[in-house]
Amino acid sequence: MSFVLERDPSKLTTGVQVKQAGGVRGVHFSSPHPSMSFPSSKLLGDCDLFPKEFSIVVTLKVTSIAPKRNEYIFSLKDQEERGQVILGLRISKKRLHFLFRGHGGVVEHSVFRGAGLADNQWHTLVLGVDSHHVRLTVDCNTPLEMPFPSDLNIQGSKFHIGSRGRWKGLYSGLLRQLVLVPGLDATHHICPSSDPQLAVLSVSPLLSDLHVNEREETEERVSVGLERSCSELVQGQMWFNPLRKSLYLCDGAVWISVLEDHKRLDYVLEHQVLTTSSETHDVEVFHVAGMGLMAAMAHRSASGSAVYLWNNTGFQLYQNISTYGALAWRHFSMGKKIFLVVSNSDGGPDKRKESETDISVIYKWSKRSKQFVQFQTLQTHCARDWEAFNINQHTYLAVANHRQGDNNHTIDSVIYKWNGMTKSFEVHQMLRTSGAYDWEFFTVGPYHFLVVANAFDGVTTSVDSVIYIWVRGSFQVFQTIKTFCATDWEMFQIGSRFFLVVANGHRLHGKGPSQYAINSTIYELDMTGQLFVRFQDIVTYRYRYANTLICKVHYEDMFCVITCDCSHFNLSSSPHTCPSLQCSGLGVLQPRGGIFSGCRKLLQRRILLTQQNQFILA
């Protein structure tokens, strides 16, 4: 509504009137004026496809409708095809119709019977849509559900408010709010409500702000809506923002926060896309004192990898580093000294073809040159991951050696220990692994654990991954867990409960067929039994690799983030989902405020929210 309504009632266009019913204002349409239409690009930017998950919030008052009459609350039409509706909300005497262009260009209907809207009362509707269903909630009551298709092409289309761009079907009731918001279900923004028939998400100032003379005649001191202006006229008045769940007080110039709710995740938005020199296998984000936020990206090509620096709007290239088939970066520090270690998989410029050894490199941050400089080289074997950790004030580095040569996957991965005398890392312990992909170090009370993700033993992906425990100066086997091409482990804690989650890739044995739909699993530490037990399975899928995205996430609750690959699919239809996913990484986040995280390859991260003692797809 805010796209077509002016705040000043003197500027209302022909065919649009503000009327009041039951002390509540709404818009009445007497003609389908062009000013009540606008291009979809004004609201949805350059998107060619309508979002796969969205909600429509409407507050309306329907007086009476003739038995055979249909009236449009809004419509989205293709400008090139006269009369062709792409998306629309239509009301009749006893039914609410949600219209959409289906397969083959045929307009289909989701019909909600018994909605009981034509009763001369105000009602607030929330229409939540995902790729399979459309859900209608009336006045915060139990929702009704119907099927819905995906991939609505909206290129060159136009929104029409209160009509479908012509006299026939013009809406005759009052319309108070009409809001399109991202996310499957916007009901939690407005429900529960003390007045569910007039629940507010975003009402135009024209319909919510009282004029000066009206304000003097009422004792209303709190306004509700997404946007309000603060001036001397409303000094001392309070404003509640239902989206932020925050209360503000106007001091005559600016709004002062009185009460704020914690931020929560509603959507994952693409913030920046970085064009890299080649396929990017890993992103490591870290902070350097005096410089700010940096990100090291592991590029596969021999042209090297890169370090980026954050400049308040995005990451910009800061330093190129010579790497050879880089697979992973890890940042760590010792005192005030900052280091980066990279896993090289193509040896180096002098590598002989018959050699089965790679040279991985530790870099140290130079305060003088403000660059990372080579510090130490270590022999590795197609290393997939590094893990840095501290035990009893000693620093350790664990490398996950994946394979030696093309076929030998059951080899030693190595734990290095910092020697303060020689100023270098030295071999501390060798652990036998099978196609190791990842290490995860964590601590529970006084106990230190290290878990390896074993992926392949040369024959099958059905291998044991191993949890080790630190005992008298070395790691000993604590527990083995059957995994299937495990590529990542993450540990997280909720209250006093400790969890481990593994990303399984696929099931393969010998020359048989691969099974790509497979469970990734969350395990919980049983304090009594002193072992990790299965807590929940999450179905995931595997495909190939691609490129790099930067994502910005806002939320308060605990989320488990599964990194998956969408390289075989066109992501333009949705900024947050893809049909099939390769679980190549996991992350668990619990920040306060905004977090920027690098997504490896052309990745989609599935966000899993804790709810009722299990994780659900958010």
Work out the average pLDDT over 1-24: 70
pLDDT computed for residue 512 by the predictor: 72
* 49 against 28, higher pLDDT: 28
Mean pLDDT is highest, among 255-259, 385-389, 484-488, for 385-389
CA quadruple 211, 215, 216, 217: dihedral positive or negative? positive
pLDDT computed for residue 16 by the predictor: 81
Confidence of residue 330 (pLDDT cuts 50, 70, 90): very high
Give the Cα separation of 361 and 380 in Å (integer): 10
Q: In this structure, what are the phi and psi dihedrals at residue 475, rounded to the nearest 5 degrees?
A: -90, 135
Give the Cα separation of 47 and 564 in Å (integer): 23
Q: What is the DSSP string of 338-398?
A: EEEEEE-SS--TT--TT---EEEEEEEEETTTTEEEEEEEEEESSEEEEEEEEETTEEEEE
Whether the Cβ atoms of residue 308 and residue 299 lie closer than 8 Å to each other:
no
Whether the Cβ atoms of residue 542 and residue 582 lie closer than 8 Å to each other:
yes
Q: In this structure, what are the phi and psi dihedrals at residue 244, rounded to the nearest 5 degrees?
A: -85, -10
- Range 528-537 contact pairs with CB under 8 angstroms and sequence separation of 24 or more: 531/478, 531/479, 532/467, 532/479, 532/481, 532/500, 535/499, 536/614, 536/615
Helices (H), 418-470: none
- pLDDT tens digits, residue range 505-550? 888 877 777 777 888 999 999 999 999 999 999 888 754 332 233 3
Quick check: 397 pLDDT over 60?
Answer: yes
- How much of the chain, in percent, has pLDDT values that exceed 70? 76
From residue 108, give the alpha-carbon distance in Å to each of 162, 186, 521. Answer: 20, 24, 40
pLDDT computed for residue 347 by the predictor: 64
For residue 514, give every residue at least 6 positions away whose Cβ sits within 8 Å of its Cβ, in sequence order, or none: 506, 507, 508
Give the Cα separation of 281 and 603 in Å (integer): 11
For residue 219, count CB atoms less than 10 angstroms from its CB and return exposed for 0-12, middle for 13-18, buried for 19 or more.
exposed
Whether the Cβ atoms of residue 140 and residue 193 lie closer than 8 Å to each other:
yes
Mean pLDDT (the chain, rounded)? 79
258 token code pair:
């009185």
Work out the average pLDDT over 480-499: 92
* 17 against 261, higher pLDDT: 17
Whether the Cβ atoms of residue 343 and residue 364 lie closer than 8 Å to each other:
no
Q: Is 282 left (phi over 0), alpha (psi -120 to 50) or beta?
A: beta
- pLDDT tens digits, residue range 124-171? 999 888 767 888 888 888 888 877 666 677 777 888 888 888 888 888
CA quadruple 35, 40, 45, 46: dihedral positive or negative? negative
pLDDT computed for residue 589 by the predictor: 44
- pLDDT tens digits, residue range 403-424? 998 889 999 999 999 999 999 9
Q: What is the dihedral of CA 537, 540, 542, 548, to 10 degrees?
A: -120
Quick check: 593 pLDDT over 80?
Answer: no
pLDDT computed for residue 597 by the predictor: 37
pTM of the prediction? 0.57
Whether the Cβ atoms of residue 538 and residue 586 lie closer than 8 Å to each other:
no
Closest to 346 (Cα-Cα) out of 299, 306, 412 = 299
Whether the Cβ atoms of residue 478 and residue 529 lie closer than 8 Å to each other:
no
pLDDT computed for residue 373 by the predictor: 97
pLDDT computed for residue 267 by the predictor: 56
Lowest mean pLDDT among 160-169, 327-336, 471-480: 160-169
Give the Cα separation of 464 and 404 in Å (integer): 19
For residue 199, give every residue at least 6 positions away whose Cβ sits within 8 Å of its Cβ, in sequence order, or none: 59, 124, 139, 140, 190, 191, 193
Strand-strand pairing, 280-288 and 462-471: unpaired
3-state secondary structure of 241: strand
Quick check: 328 pLDDT over 80?
Answer: yes
- pLDDT tens digits, residue range 294-323? 999 998 887 899 999 999 888 999 999 999
Strand-strand pairing, 238-241 and 222-224: parallel
For residue 431, give every residue at least 6 positions away whose Cβ sits within 8 Å of its Cβ, in sequence order, or none: 412, 413, 414, 415, 452, 466, 468, 475
Distance of CA 172 to the CA centre of its chain: 40
pLDDT computed for residue 505 by the predictor: 86
Q: In this structure, what are the phi and psi dihedrals at residue 260, rounded to the nearest 5 degrees?
A: -130, 140
Work out the average pLDDT over 583-591: 46
